[in-house]
């Protein structure tokens, strides 16, 4: 009987055990599990090159994109390097050598007077910004384009826009709204920002389409130095990774444009007027459909850094809101795709923790390499801990087997499956991206939807659906996923290890208990408590017998 008691006591810690889980490191079993997990990063590229149902449309869409890029340059040569004030004047004077020489001399004089004039070329070419042509991997999911996807004719109004950033670089983007929505619709709204370098706007249309289908107005755009926006400003100001600040300054510019109207036009278009002959949108053409009190933001990679900073302007001790259209920060909720950033000393700009935020990360990074030892289980929770300490709702999860490219659908790059099947001209199924869609939408619905809108009633349940298709089974077994937020009923759901299981541990503000708790009270933890009780009962029965035997 003592052996039974001892066994029960030994089982308690093992059953209650959370991440790290599974085989002990180091061991052959641990290495085998890591090999299986790491192999998931090749799922997407293998699917894309071996399935003709994907590969053929992908190649065709690349051709279409190259054509649309060429046509834009022909219609407005100012998008190309060849179109500058100097080269245009030279072309006009080509038949008169003396006039051409005068153009060159004037240009030299201008550069001598101000060397910055030498940097005034747009530097837009078929190769810069990277992915400007939307060809090859830069095309993204080939089934999400007009002409292929019925979404554009049946479900949405999508309007291309061009506007200036605060440095007078032209930014290319789109505004999206549900088809049939009208002035006065009062739609919740989301602005989405790309990741850096090889991450143009179309790679994020998966989220724009998901949001529109669920009743949101949306804006997507290429920051300076990205996609089909300008490589640099007229004075040589750079973008993308050369000057990563465009991922928060440009984000604010995009929010300003999204919130501009005929009554309050977008200010940078006014100050930059005449910089290029390109027509720009004076204001957001769908502004009359938007609820100005319900704005969320999402960003990937450096865009996630941008989202982290932008949500935090105006927090106590932070820099004030730098936008031109609002006196204070209008952002109400944020989602950061790899990854949410916590404020730290010395940040420039200074930002704080203001709004409910979700961080999403992956087991592997930008250049995924296999693990050679067990990672720190808390390694992805730094920002989560800061938000929780500040008392602001937060959710953080890590995609099992995922990479940095789970959120940018870029064919040929390492990621878990996102197009295992093609049905009715659409990718169906997958691993990491469907999980990102599930939680991103649920988080926005939780904080932005009204009671009469689709998604309001189910948002909490979707966020807490740990055993569902997109739940803890897909969460990393290396890194702990966690949450701390109140549901609409006032119950706080705090769980430090969702994969291990969550139970009622948080006291409701009204005196009840919440529907989620810490990993220590997981399903296995409850079983552990049961075994502890059983052990105590057995021990209580054994003790009198032991005393009698000693007598």
- pLDDT grade for 148, boundaries at 50, 70 and 90: very high
The answer, yes or no, to whether residue 517 has pLDDT greater than 50, is: no
Rounded to whole angstroms, how far apart are CA atoms 280 and 506? Answer: 52
Task: Name the pTM for this structure.
Answer: 0.85
The answer, yes or no, to whether residue 406 has pLDDT greater than 60, is: yes
| Cα atoms in the Cβ-side hemisphere of radius 13 Å centred on 288 | 7
Name beta bridge partners: 298.
192, 335
Helix axes 432-448, 205-213, angle to 10 degrees: 50
Rounded to whole angstroms, how far apart are CA atoms 273 and 95? Answer: 31
CATH assignment, 141-500:
3.40.50.1820
pLDDT tens-digit profile of 70-118?
999 999 999 986 445 554 555 455 566 666 566 556 655 665 566 555 4
- pLDDT grade for 193, boundaries at 50, 70 and 90: very high
Q: Where are the domains of the chain?
A: 141-500
Least confident of 21-25, 89-93, 341-345, 418-422: 89-93
Helix (H) or strand (E) holding 174: strand 170-178
Name beta bridge partners: 239.
none
Please answer whether residues 311 and 209 qualify as being in contact, where contact means their C-beta atoms are separated by less than 8 angstroms: no
């Amino acid at each position: 009987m003592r052996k039974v008691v001892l066994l029960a006591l030994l089982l308690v810690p093992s059953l209650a055990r959370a991440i790290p889980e599974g085989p002990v490191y180091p061991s052959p079993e641990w290495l085998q599990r890591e090999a299986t997990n790491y192999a998931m990063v090749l799922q997407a590229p293998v699917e894309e090159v071996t399935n003709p149902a994907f590969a053929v449309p992908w190649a065709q869409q690349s051709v279409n994109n190259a054509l649309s890029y060429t046509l834009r340059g022909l219609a407005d040569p100012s998008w190309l390097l060849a179109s500058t004030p100097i080269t245009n004047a030279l072309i006009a004077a080509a038949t008169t050598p003396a006039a051409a020489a005068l153009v060159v001399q004037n240009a030299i004089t201008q550069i001598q007077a101000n060397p910055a004039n030498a940097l005034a070329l747009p530097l837009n070419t078929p190769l810069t910004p990277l992915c400007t042509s939307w060809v090859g991997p830069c095309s993204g999911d080939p089934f999400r384009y007009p002409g292929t996807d019925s979404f554009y004719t049946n479900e949405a109004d999508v309007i291309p826009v061009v506007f200036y950033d605060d440095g007078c670089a032209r930014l290319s983007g789109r505004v999206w709204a549900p088809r049939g929505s009208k002035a006065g619709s009062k739609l919740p709204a989301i602005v989405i920002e790309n990741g850096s370098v090889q991450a143009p706007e179309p790679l994020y249309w998966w989220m724009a389409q998901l949001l529109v289908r669920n009743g949101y107005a949306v804006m997507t755009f290429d920051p300076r130095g990205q996609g089909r926006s300008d490589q640099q400003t007229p004075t040589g100001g750079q973008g993308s990774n050369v000057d990563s600040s465009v991922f928060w300054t440009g984000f604010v510019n995009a929010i300003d444009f999204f919130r501009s109207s005929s009554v309050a036009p977008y200010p940078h278009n006014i100050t930059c007027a005449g910089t290029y002959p390109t027509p720009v949108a004076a204001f957001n053409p769908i502004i009359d459909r938007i609820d100005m009190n319900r704005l969320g933001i999402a960003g990937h990679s450096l865009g996630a850094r941008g989202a982290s900073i932008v949500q935090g302007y105006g927090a106590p001790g932070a820099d004030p809101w730098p936008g031109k259209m609002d006196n204070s920060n209008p952002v109400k909720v944020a989602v950061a795709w790899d990854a949410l950033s916590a404020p730290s000393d010395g940040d420039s700009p200074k930002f704080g923790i203001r709004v409910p935020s979700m961080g999403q990360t992956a087991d592997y990074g930008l250049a995924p390499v296999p693990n050679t030892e067990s990672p720190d289980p808390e390694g992805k929770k730094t920002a989560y801990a800061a938000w929780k300490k500040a008392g602001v709702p937060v959710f953080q999860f890590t995609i099992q087997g995922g990479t940095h490219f789970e959120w940018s659908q870029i064919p040929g790059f390492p990621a878990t499956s996102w197009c295992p099947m093609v049905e009715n001209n659409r990718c169906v199924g997958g691993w990491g991206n469907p999980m990102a869609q599930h939680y991103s939408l649920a988080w926005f619905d939780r904080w932005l939807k009204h009671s009469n809108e689709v998604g309001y009633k189910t948002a909490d349940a979707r966020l807490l659906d740990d055993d569902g298709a997109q739940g803890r089974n897909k969460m990393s077994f290396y890194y702990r996923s966690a949450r701390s937020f109140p549901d609409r009923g006032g119950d706080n759901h705090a769980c430090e290890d969702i994969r291990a299981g969550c139970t009622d541990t948080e006291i409701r503000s009204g005196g009840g208990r919440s529907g989620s708790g810490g990993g220590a009270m997981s399903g296995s933890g409850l079983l552990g408590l049961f075994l502890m009780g059983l052990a105590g009962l057995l021990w209580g029965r054994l003790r009198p017998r032991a005393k009698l035997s000693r007598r």
